[in-house]
Amino acid sequence: MKIDNFNDRVAVITGGAAGIGRALAELLQEGGATVVIADLPGETLDATALDLGITAIACDVSDATAMDSLAAQVMQRHGKVDLLFNNAGVGFQQSLYKMSLRDWRWVFDVNFWGVVHGLNSFLPHLTTNPDGAYVVNTASLLSLYTNSALAAYAASKYAVLAVTETLAREMELTDGKVGVTAFCPGPIQTTIYGSLDRRDQRYGPPPTSDATDDPVMKALGHIMDAKRMSARDAAQIALDAVRNGRFWAITHPEYTQQIAPEHDALMAEIERQRSSQALSKAPLA
């Protein structure tokens, strides 16, 4: 399934007030789509809606009831949903041994459960859309590999990728009228790097870490200092995947060098085990 023309399509974007979400909104609107952005309440959401002249609905994706309300409002106003972008997310960097359970819950509540809530609330409408529909889940390059100080973030994105791969297979087994893309951005010019400033009080005060005396955080430095792609360029890559019905949308192939050696090591171990089992079953001479 692909959607190569956004004219008269209704698109819902979580995390749509800034960064990649806003860039998606701008590009979709330019393509003729009716766009609804959802994000935490505040000046950024209101300003983006005003700037673009689009509908904004305050919504915390970690709240299943709020997501149900979002879907109901969209259906009431527009009568359909054609494109769902589960894009809301938070960034978090911390040494694994210094993380609290509240840190883990915050990251997973937004990054993972936000996607699950989005699918649970919108799939009934997407799968019954007679014109076909599309889902883009924002995972990350760090759904393919991880690095120091990124345990919670990468784990949440690994989980998003697993859900997205499963969804794609299930949609193929049905009528094939819902396309699915796993969007895996690398370093992008977004506000995700300031996520701790927007952390809800229920997760407690944000942690502090001095990278100067933490070797784990120091090892993250080259990632944080990497050149960042514009949000608009990243959003264009995601929309190109939608237009062409591609599962993968990857912004920074140059940052994926460690995937191949990890895959090779896994396959080598599988082959070693296969050979070992074959030898153990071989008849004695």
- Cα pseudo-dihedral 258, 260, 264, 267, rounded to 10: 110
d(CA 65, CA 148): 35
Sheet containing 133-138: order of strands: 55-58, 34-39, 10-14, 83-86, 133-138, 178-184, 248-250
Residue among 281, 161, 179 at smallest CA distance from 240? 179
Alpha-carbon distance 116 to 164, whole Å? Answer: 10
Residue 271, phi then psi, degrees to nearest 5: -65, -35
Neighbour count for residue 57 (Cβ, 10 Å)? 20
* Amino acid type, 16: G
In the three-class reduction of DSSP (H, G, I as helix; E, B as strand; rest coil), residue 23 is classed as: helix
Residues with Cβ within 8 Å of 192's Cβ and at least 6 positions away in sequence, in order, are 19, 89, 90, 91
3-state class of 13 per DSSP? strand
Nearest to 83 by CA among 216, 207, 241, 205: 241
Residue 153: active-site member: yes
Distance CA 177, CA 168 (A): 11
Per annotation, catalytic residue among 97, 134, 153, 203:
153
How many Cα neighbours within 13 Å face the side chain of 244? 10
Q: Which residues are catalytic?
A: 153
